[in-house]
Amino acid sequence: MKIAEVMKRFVEPASVAIVGATRKSGEFSMNIMEHIISYGYAGKLYPINPNATEILGVKAYAGVSEITGPIDLALIVTARETVPGVLQACADKGIKCASIVAQGFGDATDRDGHELNRQLMEIVRSTGIRVLGPNTFGTANAFINFSSSFARIKLDKNPVGIVCQSGLFFHGLPEFRLTGKCIDLGNACDIGFTEALEYFENDPQVKVIGLHIEGTKDTQGLLKAIKRATAEKPVIVLKTGRSEQAARAMQSHTGSLAGDSLIWDAALKSAGAIRVNDIEEFFDTVRMFSMAPLMKNNSIAVATFSGAAGILAMDAMRDTELQMVALSDDTTAKLVKLAPGWLKVSNPVDYWPIMMGYADQGRAMMDVMNILLSDGEIGGVLFTQVAFAPKYNEMMQMFLNHLAGQYPGKPFMSAISGTYNSDFINALQQEGKHLAFHTPERAARAFSHLWQYSRLRRGL
């Protein structure tokens, strides 16, 4: 079966058999089927449990062989000792794709684990069934209200495809529930990065790809797949296990080999990947690419409520290719008209003193931002504010969403500080029109990654 079809069954299954479906239900029971139903999945579900005739109102089966309809995907949730037998039964039934949750295969230290792994691989080889995992959350797909993770997650229809080696990435962060679509490779005994990348590269629902790489047996294949994908959409990479100690820990996490950190750095860069350093940067960058248009040039204008916040943004741009350019004569002249005589109008534009001269402060911010956002020489605009109070948040959200709607082609992001900034940023993200970050530094870093990819796509 072609990879495209295999991956479609894993990520967009129309029918799923859950082998080892549990009758325990309710909070903290980690009942995968209960989660799937709660998401509103419209496909067919077949719980397999020899001790039940129905589970959660759905007819249960003693084994996959009893099911009559087609089965796109088998979720194997049984204990590790039973997995080879179950997998063989799935293959015998003609199932082409199976996701294995249990731990203790290539990631184990005992002989049994490695023997079980060998048996799995032998079944894959002899039957052609494809395996995701073991030691995996499986897949998630917000567009069909599906996730096979045993932890309940929140699904958001973001145009994002994540390939990871840990269920950690299914959860996202408050401002960004990430999935979109997620593929957890777990130990990656069969399905690996290249298969997952090929799927996302050609997936029209996915605008940006995020990879969490612990290690891989096929580094060259991965790099080639990344290079091909970056011609279509940005690929963000978090390569973990950079210390020797971490590399050893990974061996027992997913059984992966880490490889040398510097070689990875160089290879990922030449493949056109956007490498990030930590999980916060990973989520920030993926979220940014899911919303921002590309930059025409690397010049940034900052409009700041506070001189200090503008300086923090400039500090963060110091070692990047971004430029805080001088404003054009035309733009400067327009701003000078709004400002008190004593204010030096330059970039960053300190709009607080300008606001103080207006009766309507919202109007002042609007005038400043219209001048900067309509300046065709400026590649990106960064706005900084404080989330002073819930009512103020509401007004600022309206203001930023309005501006984002007025200038859809202009890369435009905010850095929102203060006691209420999380609420502010979460609310903006739910509306999905304007990109906001928690600090000027995080926004500047996002701009830097945006320019890196914009430049690549422009062939500069």
- The yes or no reply on residue 260 touching a copy of itself (CB under 8 A) is no
Please report how close the Cβ of residue 103 comes to a copy of itself at its closest, in angstroms: 6
Structure tokens at 2: 């072609």
Please report how close the Cβ of residue 311 comes to a copy of itself at its closest, in angstroms: 5
Q: Which stretch binds a copy of itself (CB under 8 A): 44-52, 91-99, 121-129, 388-396?
A: 388-396
Over the Cα atoms of the chain, what is R_g? Answer: 25
For a copy of itself, which is the closer residue by CB, 270 or 346? 346
For a copy of itself, which is the closer residue by CB, 60 or 164? 164
Nearest to 287 by CA among 395, 189, 430: 430
Q: Which residue has the tokens 């960064």?
A: 382
Q: In a 3-state reduction of DSSP, which class is residue 164?
A: strand
Q: Segment 406-425, which members bind a copy of itself (CB under 8 A)?
A: 417-423
Please report how close the Cβ of residue 312 comes to a copy of itself at its closest, in angstroms: 6
Q: In a 3-state reduction of DSSP, which class is residue 150?
A: coil
Q: Which stretch binds a copy of itself (CB under 8 A): 222-230, 350-358, 367-375, 406-414?
A: 350-358
- The yes or no reply on residue 342 touching a copy of itself (CB under 8 A) is yes
Angle at 188 between CA 81 and CA 274, to 5 degrees: 155
Q: Segment 143-172, which members bind a copy of itself (CB under 8 A)?
A: 151-154, 164-169, 171-172
Please report how close the Cβ of residue 330 comes to a copy of itself at its closest, in angstroms: 20
In 10 A of CB 188, how many CB atoms? Answer: 28
Instruction: Report H helices in 231-323.
Output: 244-253, 261-270, 279-291, 307-317
Please report how close the Cβ of residue 303 comes to a copy of itself at its closest, in angstroms: 13
Residues 98 and 130: beta-carbon distance below 8 Å: yes
- The yes or no reply on residue 439 touching a copy of itself (CB under 8 A) is yes
Q: Segment 40-59, which members bind a copy of itself (CB under 8 A)?
A: none
For a copy of itself, which is the closer residue by CB, 99 or 254? 254
* Cα–Cα distance, 80 to 186 (Å, whole number): 14
Q: Strand 146-147 and strand 139-141: pairing?
A: antiparallel
Q: Segment 82-141, which members bind a copy of itself (CB under 8 A)?
A: 103-104, 107-110, 112-113
Q: Segment 184-243, which members bind a copy of itself (CB under 8 A)?
A: 212, 214, 240-243
Looking at residue 143, what DSSP letter applies?
G
For a copy of itself, which is the closer residue by CB, 108 or 188? 108
Amino acid 168 reads L
- The yes or no reply on residue 280 touching a copy of itself (CB under 8 A) is yes
User: Cα separations (Å) of 363 from 257, 385, 399?
Assistant: 57, 15, 10
For a copy of itself, which is the closer residue by CB, 64 or 164? 164
Angle at 400 between CA 397 and CA 403, to 5 degrees: 145
Please report how close the Cβ of residue 309 comes to a copy of itself at its closest, in angstroms: 6
For a copy of itself, which is the closer residue by CB, 230 or 347? 347
For a copy of itself, which is the closer residue by CB, 258 or 403? 258
In 10 A of CB 142, how many CB atoms? Answer: 22
Structure tokens at 147: 């996730």
Q: Segment 304-333, which members bind a copy of itself (CB under 8 A)?
A: 306-312, 314-318, 324
- The yes or no reply on residue 37 touching a copy of itself (CB under 8 A) is no
- The yes or no reply on residue 379 touching a copy of itself (CB under 8 A) is no
Nearest to 163 by CA among 146, 178, 185: 185
- The yes or no reply on residue 252 touching a copy of itself (CB under 8 A) is yes
Of 346, 377, 405, 431, the one binding a copy of itself (CB under 8 A) is 346
Please report how close the Cβ of residue 11 comes to a copy of itself at its closest, in angstroms: 21
Within 8 A by CB and 6+ apart from 254, the residues are 106, 107, 135, 165, 166, 185, 186, 187, 188, 214, 215
Q: In a 3-state reduction of DSSP, which class is residue 10?
A: helix
Please report how close the Cβ of residue 362 comes to a copy of itself at its closest, in angstroms: 10
Residue 281: phi and psi, rounded to 5, are: -65, -35
Of 9, 35, 287, 442, the one binding a copy of itself (CB under 8 A) is 442
Q: In a 3-state reduction of DSSP, which class is residue 304?
A: strand
For a copy of itself, which is the closer residue by CB, 201 or 214? 214
Size of the site for a copy of itself (CB under 8 A): 84
- The yes or no reply on residue 278 touching a copy of itself (CB under 8 A) is yes
Instruction: Report H helices in 339-439.
Output: 352-356, 361-373, 390-406, 421-431
Please report how close the Cβ of residue 322 comes to a copy of itself at its closest, in angstroms: 11
